[in-house]
Structure 1
Amino acid sequence: MSYLISLDHVSLAFGLDALLDNVKLQIAGGERVCLIGRNGAGKSSLLKIVEGTCQPDSGTVWRQPGLRLSCLSQTLPSDREMTVYEYVAQGLASTGQLLAAYHALTQKIALSHTERDLAELEQLQHRIDVNQGWAFEQNINTTLSRLELNADQKMADLSGGWQRRAALARALVSAPDLLLLDEPTNHLDIHAIQWLEELLLSSSVTLLFVTHDRTLLRRLATRIIELDRGQLTSWPGDYDNFLRRKEEMLHAEAKQNVEFDKKLAQEERWIRQGIKARRTRNEGRVRALYAMRTERAKRREVQGASSFNMNTAEQSGQVVIEAKNISHHFNHTPVIHNFSLRIMRGDKIGLIGPNGAGKSTLLNILLGELTPQQGSVTHGTKLHIAYFDQLRRNLDLEKSVIDNVAEGREFIEINGNRRHIISYLGDFLFTPQRALTPVKALSGGECNRLLLARLFSQPANLLVMDEPTNDLDIETLELLEELLSEYQGTLLLVSHDRTFLDNVVTSTLVFEGNGKVREYIGGYQDWLRQRKTEPAPMLQPARQPAQAIHQKISKQNKKLSYKEQRELDKLPAKIEALEHQQNELQTEVSSPEFYKKSPDVVTETLAKLKKISTDLEQAYQRWQELEDRSS
């Protein structure tokens, strides 16, 4: 068998316990290997060793000569001054630099150009021809389009989620022999995840990936390797087979440990017998006892599982929320149109739709945080709402874990039981020492467990959860699933985790484009069975970015006057500038510090934002008008 990479007796330690303890791993061409393990087990460190960005303490790492390797890590990109196209093209090394230069120059020439620009463009075209780079350009454009990325937007202007999309595009465009993916579905909507699945299934690329998305795992993995207490175990077959065999192995391990501990206790009693026994004792037996003590000291126990419960409030009224004929739009683009819904006590409702479709807007309207432009929303009686925010805005990064949850309290009451805060945090796998750690030092999985600890400490009968599954390991995820399934209150859940939706919700609200929101009974798979056709609008952004405008300018003909043609040529740059100004002002206005400024400054800034939004909408309308006439 031809291996792409091989690890032999590799060890790595941070602190007292080894993350990798003398492990071996081989990956053959064509395999799709899923690496699973608890948060903090060392999965990301193992990927870095495979990639070559982290060196093991001992052992050897062999890579096939000429191996093309690409990696998507959990950390956000650091090259923030580049455009998205330039950043993604970096995944193609020297060819990518040529394509990035060609792309930037064509954007410049579309507005105005010199003879020198045209000569440089011709030279770039020749060099790309020599390097057979045009196929890679098509690959870049296709990948950017599928991930709905604006090629000409600055990386610095992207949110964390969109930066991660750009990093995924960069990892994909190089067509590597071995692709390393660390939680690739975080911040992707369902259609982007499905596209990623189909791409990876249809390609010949070898995969080593970490994921908590069990649907992705089941579809992709040809082999599962588990990292547990420093050891790697390979499990052929699918995820369900792994679960069954893992349970059998843990049962056998527990039985063996009980028998070992029983024998050790017997030997300890023997060595402590009186003088007569010591005079006649067998020295071989003594040496065996010392060996057993050493073996017991080296044993690493199975890490405890989360065991949290939620704090429930008194029952709400039978009708929780009623929305009648609500509509809402942004810049004349419908987000929600003529939508009605009655939420009853005990309903568990999932929200499905692409990023930016309006899921958060609908939640804010239903919760009374935003007034719809048309229609009405009525709340029932005795509502106690708890909100899980994926952006973690409610966490104070400078405060410790314990201060973020306790808020000055030493004890927390959970369903009538008084719990010490340290004991309560232990249910979420925070040791007493870790509970004193500042939040800014936590991993992504720990931050989400902290959010759950905050959420479940509040008495609530209406839970609102926005992407609660990101960064959680599978065991914690399945416990949360079970907890929400048994929850007697009402749940509103935004999630792109298809298995999680199937196992938790009783109905789904699907954003099908053009403001249409439709309710389906059941979870994600139930929606797939019920819908008649693929809702194509879900794959498209609400409006075309400036990148798409540039691409359409080539469709020019003589229907426009010279003056109108010049106006059309200049509109993309104008729209890009307006979009940039709008993004900057929206970021400023959304900051909590903004409204602490003087009333005059606040009023002036809001008026400026409104004017830019109006100018941008007019520019889009004018571009569409001229473009329609020129096509």
Structure 2
Amino acid sequence: MLLFRLNNLSLAFGDHPLLDQVSLTIHKGERIGILGPNGAGKSTFMKVLLGRIQADGGELWRAEGIKVAYLDQQLPERDEQTLYDYIAGGLEGLGDLLRQYHQLTRDSNTDFSDQQVLDRMASLQKQIEQVDGWAVEHRIEAMLDVLKLPADAKMKTLSGGSRRRAALGRALIAEPDLLMLDEPTNHLDIPTIEWLENTLNEFRGAVLVITHDRQFLQSISNRIIELDRGRLRSWEYGYERFLVFREQQLEAEEKANQEFDKKLAEEERWIRQGIKARRTRNEGRVRALKQLREERKQRRELSGPARMSLEQAGSSGKIVVEAEDLNHRFGDQLILKNFSTKILRGDRVGLIGANGSGKTTLLRILLGEIKPDSGKVKLGTNLEILYFDQLRNQLDVNQNIIDYLAEGREFIDINGKQKHVISYLQDFLFPPKRVRQPIKSLSGGEQNRLILAKLFSKPANLVVLDEPTNDLDMETLELLEEILLDFSGTLLVVSHDRKFLDNVVTSSIVFEGPGVVKEYVGGYQDWLDQGGKMLSFLTDERKQKDSKPASSKAAPVQKTEQRTEQKTNQKIDRQKQKALDQVTRQIEKTEQEIKAVEDSMAEPGFYDQPQPKIQPTLDKMAALQEKLDGLFEQWQALEDE
């Protein structure tokens, strides 16, 4: 089934067109990856398809009645919406009815003895039944369950990873004919990315995705389109085969350009011949030369990759970081339990784990920025640390590009040589005419490139990277890998990019569960090959507290004098765990009873009955809610002990 057809579509911002008479068709079942360098217009292209940006010319046809869902590159706002309301918002009209019904039934302030309230609920119930809305409500509940998100939690309370999962749920809930995803793996952890891969491979509609994650693209794509210098090329196969044919195409383009330039040079020599030749020159040949000149003027050269390099400082001491018996909690969440490690000069260590598991916390503990609850951390000597932080806290978005980098200087010292700031910025693909633009005008990938430009202008022997791959285009990402492979110092990196980890690191510290942190040789795939397993959706927003003690297998061998204390603690843990398990079972049972009452209240005509008939059910619901609140208080008290 044909969903979209583009014919000679054009769009220009500034000097060069983002879309230069592009044509494309999208059919049901296609899983299309959109590739192109940062700034090529990939996100803009999606917004043209959505109708949010109007093309300058050409034809855009969309099949009548199809549903399109879109995941924005930016995270959803931290606002007062509940997760249920946010995800239901992906259903348009029906979603609004379900939101209103959900708010009335779950709001503790709802007065069920008020006839107006009952009439309103009866009206909503009738409208929902007319469009078979209860089946859709079950889909919402199932989506919240699989994404481990609590229906009544507010968006403002959620982490970036949880808001990204919520946005995915909102896009998927409508079961669209075309699903558009702009950098869907940003802010996701590896278990969630793998869940998304499986979900998209089972999805019956079409998928259009912008991503920098090569393994994700390789897993889901069956077609690639490349946006390059305003042109759109389509490759009817997945990412791996695309790479082979793309290289051949670039070689052919380079050869054709060389032949064109050779012919132009010959014609220019001819036109500059002497008076006698000019008397007899062919006017048709002159016109052809003018056409050649115009074609050469209009040619848009392929922008090369960034020319990044990393300045190495003198050698650090042999031991870079030594940590012994680290224990740490973040609030009530167990991060580390008796964790020890020794990182030596030249080690390349990846930190792997689900969102919220504590990767960045451990990184900051190892750097001495956070003091652990117990244990010792010793930093080595002669360290020159380069730290790329995940949240871009180092950027003042109101500064312009050159002021951020130069800090008042015209020249900077790179590997012992003076280089003009503008020339250095060009190495990172910032042309001179853009260097005075504010940072807030840059895309996410361009902001990351700018941070790398500033960091790489300083010598280092310990490089610390926290999610450096977000938003980078693939060419820049591959260049970053090459630079890090040439770096002879020590590397610590947190990343959800599995291929990046496999290409760069030689050992991994993996968060396999609450407090369960183990070391492995090799990268992500090596960890899997060694039987590694990670808790899926570790940061379950519905159960933010860890009620299970960490496995003792994760801890190093204990010293003799610690064993007696450990046995005592284990006994206390068992008693506490037994009580927690008992309360948890009561909570689950009560929640099942509440669900049964809710189902009876959702029966057709429930609110059409006289009030004396429905009041016992309403009273039972109120009593069960009160009981559930009390059980949660017991559970919290046990957790706080």
Counterpart amino acid of residue 31 in structure 2: R
**Paired position in structure 2 for 1:269:** 269
User: Is 1:480–2:517 an aligned residue pair?
Assistant: no
User: Is 1:59–2:74 an aligned residue pair?
Assistant: no
> Residues 523 and 22 from structure 1, CA distance in 2 versus in 1: closer, same or farther, beyond 3 angstroms?
same
What SS class does the counterpart of residue 378 from structure 1 fall into? strand
What SS class does the counterpart of residue 321 from structure 2 fall into? strand
**Paired position in structure 1 for 2:613:** none
Instruction: Assess if the C-alpha contact under 8 Å between 1:469 and 1:497 holds in 2.
Output: yes
2:636 corresponds, among 593, 608, 621, to 621
* Correspondence 1:354-373 to 2 at 5 A: 354-373=354-373
**Paired position in structure 2 for 1:95:** 94
User: Is 1:223–2:223 an aligned residue pair?
Assistant: yes
Counterpart amino acid of residue 359 in structure 1: K
Q: CA deviation at 1:118?
A: 5.2
Instruction: Assess if the C-alpha contact under 8 Å between 1:514 and 1:537 holds in 2.
Output: no
* Correspondence 1:223-302 to 2 at 5 A: 223-302=223-302
* Correspondence 1:522-601 to 2 at 5 A: 522-531=522-531, 534-536=533-535, 539=538, 541=540, 544=543, 553-555=590-592, 568-570=627-629
> Residues 478 and 133 from structure 1, CA distance in 2 versus in 1: closer, same or farther, beyond 3 angstroms?
same
Instruction: Assess if the C-alpha contact under 8 Å between 1:111 and 1:570 holds in 2.
Output: no
After superposition, give the CA deviation of every residue in 1:383-402 in whole Å (9 maximum; x if it has no partner).
11111012111112222212
Q: CA deviation at 1:331?
A: 3.5
Distance 2:442 2:400 in 1: 10
Distance 2:89 2:161 in 1: 19
Distance 2:37 2:464 in 1: 26
Q: CA deviation at 1:438?
A: 1.5
* Correspondence 1:597-612 to 2 at 5 A: none
**Paired position in structure 2 for 1:419:** 419
Distance 2:347 2:263 in 1: 54
User: Is 1:30–2:29 an aligned residue pair?
Assistant: yes
Counterpart amino acid of residue 104 in structure 2: L
What SS class does the counterpart of residue 204 from structure 1 fall into? coil
Q: CA deviation at 1:121?
A: 4.0
Instruction: Assess if the C-alpha contact under 8 Å between 1:350 and 1:501 holds in 2.
Output: yes
Counterpart amino acid of residue 506 in structure 2: T
Q: CA deviation at 1:173?
A: 0.7
Distance 2:635 2:185 in 1: 32
Distance 1:563 1:197 in 2: 41
Q: CA deviation at 1:554?
A: 2.7
What SS class does the counterpart of residue 436 from structure 1 fall into? coil
> Residues 565 and 302 from structure 1, CA distance in 2 versus in 1: closer, same or farther, beyond 3 angstroms?
closer
Counterpart amino acid of residue 220 in structure 1: I
**Paired position in structure 2 for 1:305:** 305
Counterpart amino acid of residue 96 in structure 1: G
Instruction: Assess if the C-alpha contact under 8 Å between 1:513 and 1:537 holds in 2.
Output: no
User: Is 1:490–2:490 an aligned residue pair?
Assistant: yes
Counterpart amino acid of residue 238 in structure 1: G
Q: CA deviation at 1:109?
A: 5.0
* Correspondence 1:167-206 to 2 at 5 A: 167-206=167-206
User: Is 1:44–2:59 an aligned residue pair?
Assistant: no
Instruction: Assess if the C-alpha contact under 8 Å between 1:333 and 1:542 holds in 2.
Output: no
Query: Can you give the 5+ residue segments of structure 1 that lack an aligned partner in the other structure?
Result: 576-617, 626-631
Distance 2:336 2:40 in 1: 43
Q: CA deviation at 1:207?
A: 0.6
Counterpart amino acid of residue 199 in structure 2: L
Instruction: Assess if the C-alpha contact under 8 Å between 2:335 and 2:515 holds in 1.
Output: yes
**Paired position in structure 2 for 1:593:** none
**Paired position in structure 1 for 2:384:** 384
> Residues 571 and 473 from structure 1, CA distance in 2 versus in 1: closer, same or farther, beyond 3 angstroms?
farther
Distance 1:59 1:196 in 2: 34
**Paired position in structure 2 for 1:598:** none
Instruction: Assess if the C-alpha contact under 8 Å between 2:161 and 2:355 holds in 1.
Output: no
Distance 2:161 2:401 in 1: 24
**Number of residue equivalences:** 574
CA RMSD of aligned residues (A): 2.6
Q: CA deviation at 1:149?
A: 3.1
Q: CA deviation at 1:115?
A: 5.1
> Residues 138 and 519 from structure 1, CA distance in 2 versus in 1: closer, same or farther, beyond 3 angstroms?
farther
Instruction: Assess if the C-alpha contact under 8 Å between 2:150 and 2:542 holds in 1.
Output: no
Counterpart amino acid of residue 621 in structure 1: Q
> Residues 564 and 145 from structure 1, CA distance in 2 versus in 1: closer, same or farther, beyond 3 angstroms?
closer
Distance 2:102 2:492 in 1: 44
After superposition, give the CA deviation of every residue in 1:345-382 in whole Å (9 maximum; x if it has no partner).
11111111111111111111101111111111111111
What SS class does the counterpart of residue 289 from structure 1 fall into? helix
Distance 2:288 2:539 in 1: 69
Q: CA deviation at 1:620?
A: 4.5
When structure 1 is superposed on structure 2, of 12-21 and 144-153 the one drifting more is 144-153
After superposition, give the CA deviation of every residue in 1:148-169 in whole Å (9 maximum; x if it has no partner).
4333233344455544433222
Counterpart amino acid of residue 376 in structure 2: S
Instruction: Assess if the C-alpha contact under 8 Å between 1:317 and 1:381 holds in 2.
Output: yes
When structure 1 is superposed on structure 2, of 162-171 and 443-452 the one drifting more is 162-171
Q: CA deviation at 1:287?
A: 1.3
> Residues 223 and 332 from structure 1, CA distance in 2 versus in 1: closer, same or farther, beyond 3 angstroms?
closer
Distance 1:131 1:321 in 2: 62
Counterpart amino acid of residue 32 in structure 2: V
Q: CA deviation at 1:252?
A: 1.4
Counterpart amino acid of residue 62 in structure 2: R
Counterpart amino acid of residue 52 in structure 2: T
